[in-house]
Amino acid sequence: MARKDIVVIGASAGGLEAVLSIAGGLPADLQASLFVVLHQSPGWKSALPQLLAKAGPLPAGHPADGEHIGAGRIYVAPNDHHMLLEAGCVRITRGPRENRFRPAVDPLFRSAAYIYGARAVGVVLSGALDDGASGLYTLKLRGGTAIVQDPSDATVSAMPLNALQYTEADYTVPAAAIGGLLARVVREPAPHARRLPPGEDEKTLHEIRIAQGRTEAGQDFTRFGTLTPFTCPECRGVLARVKDGGIVRFRCHTGHAFSRQTLLGSIARDVEESLYDALRALDEAAMLLEDLAADFGREGDGEAAARSLALARATRERSRPVREAAIRSGTIDVGDAGAGSISRETRVPRAARTS
């Protein structure tokens, strides 16, 4: 009988310590494969494989595209690449960013759920916003096991809170307990496959193809969602609204995907940038008018100098409310719209069971 031998782990802000703690709690003879996505800024060379290998007994590394999956190893997503799973191997791709990250947690979780079903174990750790919530929902829907770091134990609790908001986790435990928990869980037999809602299988495969870089798949994504008036912050394409149970997400025809929180954060950033662009233009106009006034004064044209100064003062006055609005634009705080504060269309009870 198949065992729960595929473990996918997602983390972001504050998640490094949690991932290292898990690695330190794993046995050397673990008969399972672990796959880790940790959000990082593009351009940085990740030292995570070396840190994981030092923290615990298992070897760790960045897999090559098409590399065979072996037991007792930790595979770390390379920077600026998605890591996906296929039958028996790892795929490394540069598909569209999801939740403004590449690698992102959700594509890894979806691919593990689609290929391995009940054999997959998903772990959501510390992080901001809600990457991983949709992927964990899909993994649990297909019979997988859901483990979430206790939010009170997480450095940044948003990712665990959002995961628990939508998916009834099998275990909610501190990071220090997850390594030992995984050592037990991966010895358990995988349950039989679950019956899926109509269209779920096709939708998940479609999203995996997008993450693989087959962006033409996104052009047909309106089959799985409804068009919205919102535009993609990455490419300005039209966004379609997609639902995973109670989770609402957005995806554009080129493949970029956003949770509601990530989209709100992007809109807030765009508002701030637009306000500062307007402020810069007004300040430049005022400075040019002041420079013209000085030139007219040197040339003895007092009337033109006075008109230019008057226009400069008026422009400065016009810039004042824009400056104040730009400063206040930071009050669109995505953290205030986190788990529990945005009305959900479907609420899933939080799990109470622990290890």
The residue annotated as part of the active site, out of 5, 106, 130, 131, is 131
12 is catalytic: yes
d(CA 144, CA 170): 10
Which of 83, 118, 128 is closest to 103 using CA atoms? 83
The residue annotated as part of the active site, out of 39, 206, 253, 256, is 39
Q: Are strands 60-61 and 6-11 parallel, antiparallel or unpaired?
A: unpaired
Sheet of 226-231: strands edge to edge?
A: 226-231, 238-244, 247-252, 257-259
Residue type at position 41? S
Are 4 and 119 spatial neighbours (Cβ–Cβ below 8 Å)?
yes
Please give the torsion angle defined by the CA atoms of residues 47, 54, 32 and 149, in that order, rounded to the nearest 10 degrees.
-70
CA atoms within 13 A on the CB side of 317: 6
Paired with 122 in beta bridges are: 8, 146
Tokens found for residue 31 = 């008969």
227: helix, coil or strand?
Answer: strand
d(CA 130, CA 12): 10
Q: Are strands 238-244 and 247-252 parallel, antiparallel or unpaired?
A: antiparallel
Which of 25, 20, 55, 40 is closest to 184 using CA atoms? 25
Are 261 and 334 spatial neighbours (Cβ–Cβ below 8 Å)?
yes
226: helix, coil or strand?
Answer: strand
The residue annotated as part of the active site, out of 12, 126, 134, 157, is 12
Residue type at position 229? P
DSSP element (H, E) containing 36: strand 33-38
d(CA 281, CA 275): 10
- For 288, other C-beta atoms within 10 Å of its C-beta total 14
274 is catalytic: no
| Active site amino acids | 12, 39, 131
